[in-house]
Amino acid sequence: MKQQNRWMYLGLGPLLFVLCVFCLPQSVFASLTARAAVGTVAWMAFWWVTSPVDYAVTAFLPIALNAVIPMTEMKSVIANYASETILLLLGASILTASWEKTGLERRIAIRFLNLIGNNLRRQVIFWFLLSAALSAVLPNAVVCATITPIAVSMLNYAGEKNVSESRVASKLLLTIAYATGVGGLASPLGGAMNLVVVDYIQQLTGQEYMYTAWVVRLLPIMILLVISNVVFMIRDVRGTEELGGSQEYFAQELKKMSRMSFEETCSLAVFLIATALSFTRQLYQNYLPGLKPAYIFIICAIVSFLITDREGNRLLMWKSVESKIIWELIYIFAGGLAVGTLINESGAAASIGAVVARMGLSGGIATVLAILTLTLLLSDVTSNTATAAVAMPIVISIIQGIGENPIPYIYIAAVGVNLSYMLPTSIRAIPVGYGLSPKYMLQEGWKLTVLVILLMTGICYVLLRAGYLL
């Protein structure tokens, strides 16, 4: 980046913040804190896309700006930088730090390249379906945090080591992030945001909610979402486009590989134990309620430092591990959570919802479009769970006000709550931490956002009028 452009971008960030604070209409954002929260989002988004400073530096803006203009209690903001998800990402980073040292990274890469092949279209489809399927029953952060380093190992071996400069690597990592969001919509087990939705449905009906009802009602929407997202991601991929190396070369490399060493086995076993325990939490959560995925990964990370090879040498030492941990990933994720806290606790999200409530919606396709747009865009700047907590009461009050059954519209809002594509907040911070450019994410994300809003508005309206969502 030219120095002149860098100084311009550095100045435009705080200018956007000042413009939001003083120029946003007070009829919409009545409080200074709400306008400052919106300004924080604008500043962070601009710096993330233009990159005049490191991404992790931008992630600390919520703390700095909240100190200057208190938008909420500082402890609420700082808590995001040591949240459960942050511990999960830290634990996963420590566990995968040993892969390169033991040679496990190369073994995993060759196995996956032989399993999937090196055709780029097939790679995109495989990683999308795998991530979406796992996210249907597991927290999307867990899925994204465990699947992404595996894909990165494969890409590194195939010669795609610089993610920000590689179209192939960027596309695959973005595919995983998008798929984990889409997959979360498939069942109530896909994330805490869906449990918030279920709670509101139970309050309205006064009955226990059966999870099968969710799967049945949202199945047509899921099918269209998966197809449209996959088609979008492979739209510019030629049928003959491949990763580096040929299928024959990878097959030969697999034959030449020796048996797994003791160190490789230990490294893989600890990671698989952490992943399996996280994926099967439903089986033991009543007996060990405190053993959440984040703490499982931290415990296994501690165990990995206790392992020694056959000569008694320790597998991992902190001095070597700390240089391999992707600290930028952790802070970008935390910054996204923190700015979401500002948006919600400053009243900015409620103000946006109030604008929608005053739009005079009367049901029908305009109402469906407004609900999807509100929830999807809110999910881009705050967490999906926070969006659900803010948006659901607004949707219910609007629909009850016009005398219609709110249940179908709650399902429609759940679609937008689960989806977000443009900014490196929430799980989308994970591929950015591995080198994906936020500018590329925005370039792809806004197009997919428009496409999804239009498609979902159409199918949700059809299902609404057919009575399928009742």
- Confidence band (pLDDT; 50, 70, 90) for 60? very high
Residue 384 pLDDT > 90? no
Q: In this structure, is residue 130 part of a structural domain? A: yes
Residue 261 pLDDT > 80? yes
Residue 266 pLDDT > 60? yes
* DSSP-assigned letter for residue 290: T
287-302: average pLDDT: 89
Beta bridge partners of 242: 119
Contact 428, 177 (CB under 8 A): yes
Q: What is the model's pLDDT at position 247? A: 66
Q: In this structure, is residue 316 part of a structural domain? A: yes
Q: What is the model's pLDDT at position 35? A: 94
* DSSP-assigned letter for residue 331: H
Q: In this structure, is residue 159 part of a structural domain? A: yes
- Confidence band (pLDDT; 50, 70, 90) for 40? very high
**Lowest-confidence region among 101-105, 332-336, 362-366:** 101-105
Q: In this structure, is residue 234 part of a structural domain? A: no
Q: Which residues, at least 6 apart from 219, have a Cβ–Cβ distance to it below 8 Å?
A: none
The per-residue pLDDT for range 2-19, each reduced to its tens digit, is 677 889 999 999 999 999
The SS3 of residue 442 is helix
Closest CA to 94 of 251, 323, 262, 292: 323
Q: What is the model's pLDDT at position 142? A: 77
C-alpha torsion 122→126→129→132, nearest 10: -130
C-alpha torsion 134→429→83→16, nearest 10: -140
Q: In this structure, is residue 125 part of a structural domain? A: yes
Q: In this structure, is residue 132 part of a structural domain? A: yes
Q: What is the pTM of this model?
A: 0.80
- Confidence band (pLDDT; 50, 70, 90) for 310? confident
- Confidence band (pLDDT; 50, 70, 90) for 179? very high
Going from the C-alpha of 372 to that of each of 87, 204, 368, the distances in angstroms are 32, 21, 6
- Cα torsion 84, 89, 94, 95: sign: positive
181-187: average pLDDT: 89
Mean pLDDT of the chain: 86
Q: What is the model's pLDDT at position 245? A: 59
The total number of structural domains that make up the chain: 1
Question: Which residue shows structure tokens 């967490």?
Answer: 383
Instruction: Take residue 387 and report the two structure tokens written for it.
Output: 């969006």
- Cα torsion 257, 165, 439, 340: sign: positive
Q: Which amino acid is at 193?
A: M
426-449: average pLDDT: 90
| Distance between start and end Cα atoms, the chain | 54
Structural domain including 310 reads: 82-189+240-321
Query: How many other CB atoms are there within 10 angstroms of residue 63's CB atom?
Result: 16
Instruction: Take residue 365 and report the two structure tokens written for it.
Output: 């396709």
Q: What is the model's pLDDT at position 157? A: 80
The per-residue pLDDT for range 188-217, each reduced to its tens digit, is 877 778 878 888 888 888 887 887 888 899
Q: What is the model's pLDDT at position 1? A: 59
Q: In this structure, is residue 129 part of a structural domain? A: yes
* DSSP-assigned letter for residue 261: P
Q: What is the model's pLDDT at position 257? A: 78
Q: What is the model's pLDDT at position 385? A: 76
Contact 384, 420 (CB under 8 A): yes
157-168: average pLDDT: 85
Q: In this structure, is residue 295 part of a structural domain? A: yes
